[in-house]
Amino acid sequence: MFRYLLVQYSTIYNFYYTLFTWVNKQCPKIFFVRPPLISLSFLFYIKSIFFFRFYIDLKSNNISF
C-alpha cells in the first residue's frame, strides 16, 4: 500500500514537472515562475506526510509498508 501510494505520487510529480517545463518553453515571458521549485515543495510536502504517517505507525508498533 505504502509503495503503491509512493509510486502514484511520483507519477503525479513527474506529470506536473513536465507540464510546467512545457509551459515555460511555450511562453517564458508570461509564465516566469520557476516550476521546479513548486514541484519540489510539493514533493517535500508529500514526503513529510508519509514520514509523519510512518512515525505514527512506528510509535504504535504497527508498521505497514
pLDDT for residue 2 is more than 70: no
Residue 65 located in a structural domain: no
User: What range defines the domain where residue 52 resides?
Assistant: 2-59
How many angstroms separate the most distant Cα atoms in the chain? 53
Domain count, the chain: 1
Tell me the pTM: 0.32
Please give the C-alpha separations between residue 49 and each of 7, 31, 45, 46, 52, in angstroms, as whole numbers. 15, 29, 6, 5, 5
46 versus 63: the higher-pLDDT residue is 46
The pLDDT value recorded for residue 31 is 47
Name the nearest CA neighbour of 42 among 11, 63, 65, 4. 11
The C-alpha cell that represents 29 in the structure block: 515571458
Q: What percent of the chain has pLDDT over 70?
A: 20
Average of pLDDT values for 15-26? 71
Is residue 64 domain-resident? no
